[in-house]
Amino acid sequence: MTTLDEWVGQYVSVRIVTEGDDLVAVFCGHLEGRSDEKAPSLFWPVRLIGRVSHPEKPGVYLHPERFEDAVLHEGAFVLELRQAGVTLNLRRLRHELTTGSRERPERLDGVAFGPDPGPGYSEGGG
């Protein structure tokens, strides 16, 4: 949970992976601060770019009673959260959509980016 709190403001991909390591779904956006709007689950909204308003709330849902493990990979740019037999794999990404370049903007839409994750972070969703 501490790592998610530290990553607030970062552009991340959220990947849903089966126990057999098969990618089920992926979405990308800016990780927002922890919210109690989905209690009793712990919830970090993910703000999508160009999102259409609808009742579904994209984000990271963590169910404390089903939480199994968290692993921060070498280089600290990939965080795995395991719960109820499902692995959420969050990766910090470069954000190229608004700048048109590989340079990392300091701010986007009023959200400050966190510290640069360093040379090992992923440039894409794969």
Mean pLDDT for 93-118 is 46
Give this prediction's pTM.
0.56
Q: Does domain 2-112 have CATH number 2.30.29?
A: yes
pLDDT digits (tens, 9 = 90+) for 48-102: 877 556 676 778 888 888 889 999 998 888 999 998 888 888 988 876 554 444 4
| Residue-range domain boundaries for the chain | 2-112
pLDDT of residue 32: 96
Q: Which residues contact 1 (CB under 8 A, 6 or more apart)?
A: 42, 62, 70
**What are the φ/ψ torsions at residue 5 (nearest 5 degrees)?**
-60, -35
> What is d(CA 52, CA 114) in angstroms, rounded to the nearest whole number?
26
Nearest by Cα to 62 from 40, 37, 93: 40
pLDDT of residue 84: 86
